[in-house]
Amino acid sequence: MAVDRQTVDLSAYPDLVVFYLGIRVRRPRGMLRLFGLVPQIQKSWKAQPDGLLLHEDFIWSLIPPHAGMRQYWRDLDSLERWSHSEPHKLWWQQYLRDSGGTGLWHETYFMGGGIEAIYDDMNRPIGLARFAPVRPARGAMFSARRRAARSWNRGIPPLAGWVGMGILAVALIVGLAAAKRKCAAAEDDHEHREREDVHVACRGHNRDAAQLMRRIVAHDERARTAHEVAAATEHERLPAPVGSHIDRRTKATQRRRRNYLDWQEQAQTFASDDERWRGQQVGRASSPDCSIEL
């Protein structure tokens, strides 16, 4: 006969919590504590607290006596409301003052990810404590919610963490792109102003302005040559990212130098044209048939 295999659809329970609890007798007087707690636990879950989906009893062993339960809760908030209310809160406070010859443990598993566990006065390890390192449950590890968050954070970060990292990465990319555009715009603006200065000097048809322009060009060439030497020296002792930046700056300097040489050639052409034009004007002005005034 074929096996009837079935599964469950838990899409309606995205925050499902599975809670295991056990009590093991360690001393003879622990039987009194066990038989005293079982009826109270039965009465507590039969009252149908909000969020409790299912309660099941277990017998882990008879020697030594070891009883327990498994509960399914809608979410962690519902489980915490029940554990922080009477009578569970009273049992827990009494147990922390005196375990009564018993050992108590619980393990909690979360549908959304994470596991937390606690083991009180357990003379022999059980469950996760049989293979995972055991730590004192003090400070932040005393709270079940914090223990669950700690175990979750060791793995993949929650959605909020991914969203935060995505926003940070986008902001970083946008900032780098804006800085690159700003540097390119500043460089283009600098070259444009230099080109305009040369054109203004050439359009003036003035010998003094052309000579001044040539002196400026020569001075800038000497300054840029010194900058290239300093950049090359700096490049030899800087790390790769900084060196690559200097390479880009050196290439930009070379490009501007070529532009200056072109502009200098144009300026010389303009100056020679200006001299020739002035000579023509003087010749025409000396002619008796010409009335052009300079």
**Token duo for residue 182:** 């700003």
Residue 62 has pLDDT above 80, yes or no: yes
Task: Report d(CA 25, CA 65) in Å as an integer.
Answer: 6
Structure confidence at residue 152 (pLDDT): 46
* Mean pLDDT on 197-220: 57
Q: How much is the pLDDT for 256?
A: 73
Residue 276's nearest CA partner among 286, 288, 265, 268 is 268
**CA 251 to each of CA 43, 186, 217, 244: distance values in angstroms, whole numbers, following the listed order:** 83, 16, 19, 11
Cβ contact 224:212 at 8 Å:
no
Is residue 75 classed exposed, middle or buried when 0-12, 13-18 and 19+ CB atoms within 10 A define those classes? middle
Length of the chain counted residue by residue = 294
The confidence score (pLDDT) of residue 39 equals 83
Domain ranges for the chain: 17-156, 189-286
Q: Please say if the pLDDT value at position 151 is more than 60.
A: no
Average pLDDT estimate for 205-213: 56
Cβ-proximal residues to 114 (8 Å cutoff; 6+ apart), any chain: 148, 149, 151, 152
Tokens of 161: 């963490």
Tell me how far apart the alpha carbons of residues 139 and 146 are, in angstroms, rounded to a whole number.
Answer: 10
Bond into 125 cis (ω within 30): no
Judge contact between 88 and 44, C-beta under 8 A: yes
Average pLDDT, the chain: 75
> Which of 14-23, 74-83, 140-149 is the least confident region?
140-149
Residues 264 and 261: their CA atoms lie apart, in Å, by 5
pLDDT of residue 71: 94
The DSSP string of 115-133 is: EEEEEES-SS--GGGGTSP
CA distance 184 to 186: 5
State pTM to two decimals. Answer: 0.50
Summarize the confidence of residues 132-144 as an average pLDDT: 73
Using CA atoms, how far apart are residues 282 and 270, in angstroms rounded to an integer?
A: 18
pLDDT of residue 72: 96
- Residue-wise pLDDT for 156-178, tens only, equals 455 556 677 778 888 888 888 88
> Which H or E run contains 106?
strand 102-110
108 sits in which H/E element: strand 102-110
Out of 53-57, 102-106, 222-226, 261-265, which region has the weakest mean confidence (pLDDT)? 222-226
Q: How confident is the model at residue 156, as a pLDDT?
A: 46
The pLDDT of residue 285 is above 80? no
Task: Identify the pLDDT of residue 171.
Answer: 85
147 confidence band (pLDDT: 50, 70, 90)? low
Alpha helices, DSSP H, located in the chain: 30-46, 76-83, 88-97, 144-153, 159-203, 207-236, 240-286
Q: Domain 17-156 - what CATH class?
A: alpha beta
Q: Which of 146-155, 231-240, 270-279 has the lowest mean pLDDT?
A: 231-240
Predicted confidence band at 19 (pLDDT cuts at 50, 70, 90)?
very high
Which pair of tokens denotes residue 108?
């909690």
pLDDT per residue over 71-127, tens digit each?
999 998 898 888 888 777 788 888 888 888 999 999 999 998 888 898 998 988 999
The more confidently predicted of residues 209 and 52 is 52
- % of the chain at pLDDT higher than 70: 64
pLDDT score of 149 = 62
The enclosing H or E element of 195 equals: helix 159-203
